[in-house]
Structure 1
Amino acid sequence: MDTGLVITIVVVLVLIAAAAVLAVPWQRSRRLRSRFGPEYERAVQEHGDRRAAERELTERERRHAELGLRPLSEGARRRFEADWDSVQERFVDSPEDAVRQAHGLVDRLMTERGYPSGDDDRRIADLSVEHGGTVDRYRRARAASERSAAGEASTEDLRSAMVHFRALFHELLGDGSTASAGSAGSDTADPGDPAAR
């Protein structure tokens, strides 16, 4: 075999190997961005470093896989739907109470599905694996609920909290994935409007 041909083959193989090595992190980043959505960017901002953020997100995936999440029975789904309708109807007359009850209902639903209770930061991290597009809305709803408990939330804060709680509620009520969230509503839906349910 000609020496020039051998060198060319070696160079091509080295380039292919280098491209493969460089592609692995890019593919991991792309997969994590796709899975976590806005939560990916939030993690990068919090860590100030893409690699550190990706390590954390990968760890979240590992922990999430060990949770043993379960779907709801049809009876449980109907009970949760009825409870949500009742909470939402209260919004018109008592928005603070409705937001507090919505928060509690979403927490109960998460527990029923198998998310661990107790550590709010851990629960949010676990939720972010399948609900990366909704988990920040849940954070905002929780913050508004806390402001409401302190008597510092406006009616608009409370309305937004209900809309945000409803988004996660509907995702969790379905099969638990964001794909079942078509009925989650938008930021502009009125929680007191029966058509928004």
Structure 2
Amino acid sequence: MGISIRAYARARGVSDTAVRKAIKVGRITALADGTIDPAQADAQWAGNTDPALQRKEATPSAVKVKPATAATSAAPPTATASAAPAASSSPVAGGVGVATGGASLLQARTANELLKAQTNKVRLARMKGELIERAQAIAHVFRLARNERDAWLNWPGRVSARMAADLNVDAHALHIALDAAVREHLAELGELRPSLD
């Protein structure tokens, strides 16, 4: 059995509304009977609270527990026995964390900082010229391939007359044969589909 919410709030130096809100959102957990274990709650409060968002440093003072009165000691043993497993069955990672299974504030902040670091690393690489935009790279490769295709299509017209003179054959027939061979070869190359993944 722990202490009441108001007693914990006084010991913590906060309002009982703040303690109730912390229980509701899962920053701290209450025992099955609605009381609070001060040591466990202090550890959870420290682990699940963002220090940057605190208005003032909450310094928990020593919690004074009233001695058991006749009313509390007369409680049936079955009630305390059933409350103990219920309190211990709530999963709290290492005593610090949100019992509802969500990520703690510290884990969320860590993930956020990692994301910022990765984003800054990519920005720096882009500023240094080590990275380029994917769309720009695709457009550049497309222009290069189109220029090379056009150069190959113009090649038979440039060399067919000279080759015909060297081989002593009809220039027009050689030009048509070279042009057909080049177009056939370019059609085969056009069937290749590079993967951009």
Under a length normalisation based on structure 2, what TM-score does the superposition of the two structures give? 0.27
Under a length normalisation based on structure 1, what TM-score does the superposition of the two structures give? 0.27
Larger-gyration structure (1/2):
2
